[in-house]
Amino acid sequence: QKEVEQDPGPLSVPEGAIVSLNCTYSNSAFQYFMWYRQYSRKGPELLMYTYSSGNKEDGRFTAQVDKSSKYISLFIRDSQPSDSATYLCAMILNTGGFKTIFGAGTRLFVKA
């Protein structure tokens, strides 16, 4: 079993839809949770970063963490074609040194 599971998609939605991207994890020692966006042929860009259970909002993006269920989500409201990218979840273990584990990434297509 992978430490972090993420459905690779692709996920195709119409413009304006609410997008829900999810990751599950198995190690309860993960302390920090991130979402990165990666456009084709570019490096990943940090979107959201949180360390506690609950919701964190930034514009059209909401990151949700449920530590009891070992489940994190990224919601995108009013999705735009420019949101079409691969979204990677990532989690950090702090066990005497930070170790980041990435999900496989979900490819999102937002159709105009």
Partner 1 sequence: GAVVSQHPSWVICKSGTSVKIECRSLDFQATTMFWYRQFPKQSLMLMATSNEGSKATYEQGVEKDKFLINHASLTLSTLTVTSAHPEDSSFYICSARGLAEETQYFGPGTRLLVL
Chain residues that interact with partner 1, rule: CB under 8 A: 31-32, 34, 36, 41-46, 49, 51, 88, 90, 92, 94, 98, 100, 102-105, 107
Closer residue to partner 1 (CB): 16 or 53: 53
Secondary structure E strands in 1-112: 4-6, 11-14, 19-25, 30-38, 45-50, 54-58, 61-66, 71-76, 85-94, 98-102, 106-111
* Cis peptide leading into residue 10 (ω within 30°): yes
Closer residue to partner 1 (CB): 21 or 105: 105
Residue 22 CB, nearest approach to partner 1 (Å) = 16
Closer residue to partner 1 (CB): 17 or 22: 22
CA 23-35-16 angle, to 5 degrees, is 90
* Amino acid residing at 45: E
Residue 110 CB, nearest approach to partner 1 (Å) = 18
Residue 32 CB, nearest approach to partner 1 (Å) = 5
Residue 16 CB, nearest approach to partner 1 (Å) = 26
Length of the chain measured in residues:
112
